[in-house]
Amino acid sequence: MPAHDLDLLIDAARKAGDVARGFVGKTAQRWDKPDNAGPVTEADLAVNDLLHETLIGARPDYGWLSEETEDSTARLDRERVFIVDPIDGTRSFVEGSNTWAHSIAVAEAGVVTAAVVYLPMRDKLYAASLDGGATLNAVPIRADGEDQIARMTVLAARPTMAVKHWRGAVSPTFQRTYRPSLAYRLALVAEGRFDGMLTLRPTWEWDIAAGTLIVTEAGGGASDRLAAPLRFNNADPRTDGVVAGSAHAHAALTSALA
Would you list which residues are annotated within the binding site? 67, 85, 87-88, 207
Distances (CA, A) of 125 to 25, 74, 207: 22, 30, 16
pTM for this entry: 0.96
Q: Could you tell me where the DSSP H helices lie in 166-221?
A: 182-190, 205-217
- For the stretch 74-125, pLDDT in tens is 999 999 999 999 999 999 998 889 999 999 999 999 999 999 999 999 999 9
| Averaged pLDDT for residues 183-190 | 99
What was the pLDDT predicted at 1? 56
What was the pLDDT predicted at 31? 75
Share of the chain above pLDDT 70, in %: 96
Contact 99, 119 (CB under 8 A): yes
Which run of H or of E encompasses 104? strand 101-108
Share of the chain above pLDDT 90, in %: 89
Fold (topology level) of 5-140: Fructose-1,6-Bisphosphatase; Chain A, domain 1 (3.30.540)
| Averaged pLDDT for residues 185-204 | 98
Question: How many Cβ atoms are within 10 Å of 76's Cβ, its own excluded?
Answer: 12
What was the pLDDT predicted at 33? 72
- For the stretch 210-228, pLDDT in tens is 999 999 999 999 999 999 9
What was the pLDDT predicted at 28? 72
d(CA 2, CA 6) in angstroms, rounded, equals 9
Residue 183: pLDDT over 80: yes
The CATH code that applies to domain 149-256 is 3.40.190.80
Return the domain boundaries, the chain. Answer: 5-140, 149-256
Would you list which residues are annotated within the binding site for Mg(2+)? 67, 85, 87-88, 207
What was the pLDDT predicted at 3? 60
